[in-house]
Structure 1
């Protein structure tokens, strides 16, 4: 058992010495070097902080970049997990769901997904100020975690994957356009029925 652990540790040291790193650990370097970032809540904390993290990771964030990350919706909810004595609320669970799209050329949607984070905090009915502060701290921590997870998602995207997604989106858009054009042509070629004339009595 000890020999096996030593072997694993030795391999880990050897690999790290060679510059090998597991994806999602240590570095936040992205294959995407340019990104357009926007959000439904354009001045919200999440999009502001994400922009700062992207820029500090070497990504040029500007309008008109080849790919666009759009934070479509951010929903926060909370529910009671347990009650303390005298009917006072004890534990709350807070959840935040962030829906996002990545769009490419022609503003075509390449992928759509969502991230969810949860946090439990204690609500003390005898200390409302402290409880509010704890809830605010939980929100901040959840936002940091959301941004960290978003960065991990973006790290996993390579230029090759994005090109393939763009080709699929282009093909889908062309097929839809062709189908619409065919339907319009068929409608134009269909003779319109003239009103039925009743024989005069």
Structure 2
């Protein structure tokens, strides 16, 4: 009984210490976007792409309202297409790729409602490494598809963080 009570107090103490030091799980904190920057219009060559939808979703989750008409928006996010590349990092004994490096990039900029550039062209990128099993081609293709989806989300989050930081630096 005393051992169980000691374990409960230990767990409770550890939880209190973690919460007191400001620890929070990655991705659970909201990114503060200033009020003026909460009204945006998306300018994209492909507004229905998975990447554009991911950007809209991430921004909306942090309080940004996407306007249907750019005249109603305070800012325009000019989003370039996602560019995905894959290269071999290492080879195995049979001279086949043992490890890949996957890279996803996109360039973006922000204009104010008059069309004047507020934030110049900036490139965001996400890099991941992946082990390769040459005997499992179907599994590799599926793993790449899943990683691309994760990378798309991370890239959208990176764009949001950069814009939020830029907006905060302009206010101060």
| TM-score tier (shorter) | 0.7 to 0.9
CA distance in 2, matches of 1:25, 1:130: 30
Which position in structure 1 is the counterpart of 2:32?
29
Q: TM-score, normalised by structure 2?
A: 0.74
Tell me how far 1:70 sits from its aligned partner.
1.0
Which position in structure 1 is the counterpart of 2:58?
53
Which position in structure 2 is the counterpart of 1:158?
167
CA distance in 2, matches of 1:148, 1:54: 8
Which position in structure 2 is the counterpart of 1:120?
129
Which position in structure 2 is the counterpart of 1:103?
111
CA distance in 2, matches of 1:105, 1:89: 49
Contact 1:117 1:146 in 2 (8 A): yes
Contact 1:83 1:89 in 2 (8 A): yes
Which position in structure 1 is the counterpart of 2:13?
none
Contact 1:82 1:92 in 2 (8 A): yes
Contact 1:92 1:122 in 2 (8 A): yes
Q: TM-score, normalised by structure 1?
A: 0.64
CA distance in 1, matches of 2:86, 2:59: 29
Provide structure 1 residue ranges, at least 5 long, that are not aligned to the other structure. 1-9, 17-23, 163-201
Of residues 98-107 and 149-158 in structure 1, the stretch that sits farther from structure 2 once superposed is 149-158
- CA separation of 1:131 and 1:160: change in aligned 2, threshold 3 A: closer
**Relative CO higher for 1 or 2, CA cutoff 8 Å, sep ≥ 6?**
2
Which position in structure 2 is the counterpart of 1:190?
none
Larger Rg, first or second structure (1 or 2):
1
Tell me how far 1:138 sits from its aligned partner.
1.5
**Alignment size in residue pairs:** 147
Tell me how far 1:25 sits from its aligned partner.
7.8
| RMSD, aligned CA | 2.6
Off by >6 Å, runs of 4+ in structure 1? none
Tell me how far 1:73 sits from its aligned partner.
3.4
